Structure 1
Amino acid sequence: MNFRRLSAIVVKELRQMRRDRITLAMIVGIPVMQLILFGYAINLNLRGLSAGVADQANTAASRAVVMDMVATGVVKPTFSATSPQELMERLRRGEISVGIAIPPDFERRRYDGREAVQVLVDGSDTVVQSAAVQLAQMPLDNAPTANTRPLRTGATSLGAGQIGVVSFYNPERRSAVNIVPGLIGVILTMTMVLFTGVAIVRERERGNMELLIATPVSRSELMIGKVLPYAAIGLIQTTVVLALGVWLFQVPVRGGVLDVYLAAVLLILANLTLGLLISTKAQSQFQAMQMTFFVFLPSILLSGFMFPFAGMPKAVQWLAEVLPLTHFLRLIRGIMLRGAGLWELWPDVLALLAFTTVMMTLAILRFRKRLD
C-alpha cells in the first residue's frame, strides 16, 4: 500500500466532489432538509381541521357546545350549514374534514340523556378520524343531573347528554383504505420524474443528440414525444396498483373508474414535465437521479401521504400546495373513497393543469438542440 498514491486519489475525489454542485448540495442539503421537515413541518397533533356546523337548535347551550369544541383548537369552523345532509355533502367533496350536527331537539335530548350532538368525520384519513374521536371525548359539561345514564363506548357526557361520532368512508379504520390510493401517487411520482429526468441526458451520453440535432424535429415536438410513451407506462402502473389494491386489500372504488384514470393522467403529465425540466439542467444521469431525490423527499413527507396535512404549519402547507402529489392525493381519495366526481374537485384539477403547463413551458425554453 503506497500512501502517497492513496492520498492522491483521496484528494482527487474530494476536488471532484467539490466541483460537483449537486453532490455537494446533497451532502449538506439532505440532513438539513430532513431536520427541518421532521422537526418543524411534521406534526401528528392535528389543529385547525376545517369544520362545518349545523346548529339546528340555535340555543345558548348549543352555541356554547360549539364554542367549547372550537376552543380545543382541533377544529376551525369554515361555514354554517342548515342540515346534517349539507355537512355530509361537504364531507364528500372534501371541503371539510369534520361536521358538527346539533339537532333541533337538542335540549330535550340533553335532558333525557340521549345523543345530543353528532360529530361527522371524514374517515378516509385515519388520523383525522382519531382526532375527531378525541374531540368527542372532551368533558364539556359534567354537571350531575338526575337523568344521567350510562354512556356507550365512544360517547362522552354533555351534562346528561352525549356526543356521538359518525365516521364515513372508512368506519373500520383500515389503514390500507387510506394508503393504497396514495401509493398510486407515490409510485407515479417516483417513476415518472425519474424516467424523464434522465431522458435528455441519456440521449447526450449515448451520442444520440447529434442525430436529433440533424433532424427537423422542433423542441416542442421532442419534449412532447419524450413524454407520451412514459404516460402509457404510468397508466399501466396505475392499473396494477389499483387492481392489486382492490383484490388483496378490498380497497373500495366508490367513484367512477374513468375519473380515477383521468386523475392519474393529470399527475403523470405533471411529473413527466417536471422530469423533463430536471433533464435539461442535469449534466449526467446520476445528477438527474440526485435531483429527482430532492423532489421525491418533500413530496412524500409534505403531501399528506405519510403525515397529516392539517398538522403542518401554514408556511409548509403553502409549500406543499406547489407539489403535484398533494393535489393528486385529494383527487384520488375523493374519487375512490368518498365517491366524489372529478368535476367536484376542480381546484386540484386546475392546479395540476397549471403545474404541467408551467413545467413544460420551462423545459421547452431551456432545451437547446446543441451539444454544449
Structure 2
Amino acid sequence: MKQVFNFNAGPAALPKEVLQKAQAELLNYQDSGLSVMELSHRSKQYESIQNHATERLRTLMNIPDDYDILYMQGGASLQFSAVPMNFLKEGKTANYCLTGSWSEKALKEAKKVGSTHIASSSKEANYSHIPESLELSDNPAYLHITSNNTIFGTQWRTTPDLPAKVPLIADMSSDILSRSIPVDDYSLIYAGAQKNLGPSGVTVVIVKKELLERCPDNLPTMLNYQTYAKNSSLYNTPPTFSIYMLSLVLDWVADQGGVEQIEAINTEKANLLYHVIDSSDNFYKGPARNDSRSNMNVTFTLPSEMLTKKFLQQASESGFVGLSGHRLIGGCRASIYNAVPLAHCEKLAQFMKDFHTNFM
C-alpha cells in the first residue's frame, strides 16, 4: 500500500492500530455474526460499546461524577445553536471570545437566539493570538471559547478566570484529549470527533448536571440536552459506528499511557516543526504569536505564492497529504493531532529543511 503522511485538518488521521482492529471486527463483531454497523442500538452488544466509551472517556479526562457525557450528531456546528437555545435566557447575555472563524460562527448562531456580547477578540490582529483580557457583559449567561483555532493556528494555554457563577463553555473539537485540562473549570465541553476522537459523525458533549437544570422544556426535542441525558443518548438511533470507533480510539489513548503521555508527544511534535520555522531565517514564517501557538495546527507561510505552490506540489509528490492552508488565509498548515506519529513529523521537518536548502 502506498505510504502517505496524513496532516489533514479533519477528518484527520486515525491510529493505524484502531483501523486494523475495526477491519478485523468489521464483518463479525465478537462472534455476533453481525457487523457493528448492523447491531441494533437497543442490543446488549451495542450498549456495551457505548458504556465502555463513556467509562473510558470519564477515566482518561478525569471527568467528575456530576457531569453527564452525551453523544449527539450535527458536529460542532449544531452546538453553536444548541448552546444558546438551552442556556441563553431572557434578561441574560451570551458572552463570546472571538479567536477565529469557528468562534465567529458560534456567535452568529447565538445572535439569532438572544442578546450577545463580545467579551474579547483578536480579530484586529488577524487572529494571530489569544486575547489577553476579558470584559464580561452585565448578567452573563455564559462565556464561550474555542479552545483551539484550526485555521489560524492558535490555542488557549490557560483557562479563563471567571466569576464563580458564570458557566464556561468550550468548543474543544480540535484539541480534546490532546492535553490535560481541569474539566471541573468548565460547565460544558463539546467536540466533534473527527480530529482527535474518531471519525466524523458523533459529537461528544460533557456537561455539568447542574447546568442541565436550566434547559427549557419548550425546545425542539433533538436540540434539548435533557433529551440525551435522560435517555442515555438513545432517544433516537445514535451514530453507532462512530461511537464504536470512538471507543477504539479511547482504548488506544489509554494504551499510549493516557492523556499525559499523549500531551508530551504532542508537545515534542509541535516543537519539532516550530523549530524548523523559527530557525529558517524567515523563509518560513509562523503567523501565530509564540505565546498562542497551537500544538495541533502548525500554520506557516513561505516568501512567495510561487514558492508555496512548489512546496505543496513537491510535498504531495513525497507523500505528504493535507498541508494546504485553509482557503481563508492560504499558506500552509500541518495538523498534528494525536494520531499523527512523531516519525511523520520528523519526516515533514526534514522535508521542510531540504526544501529551504534547495531554494537558498
Coarse TM-score class (shorter-chain normalised)? under 0.3
Report which of the two has the higher share of helix.
1
TM-score, with normalisation over the residues of structure 1?
A: 0.24
TM-score, with normalisation over the residues of structure 2?
A: 0.24
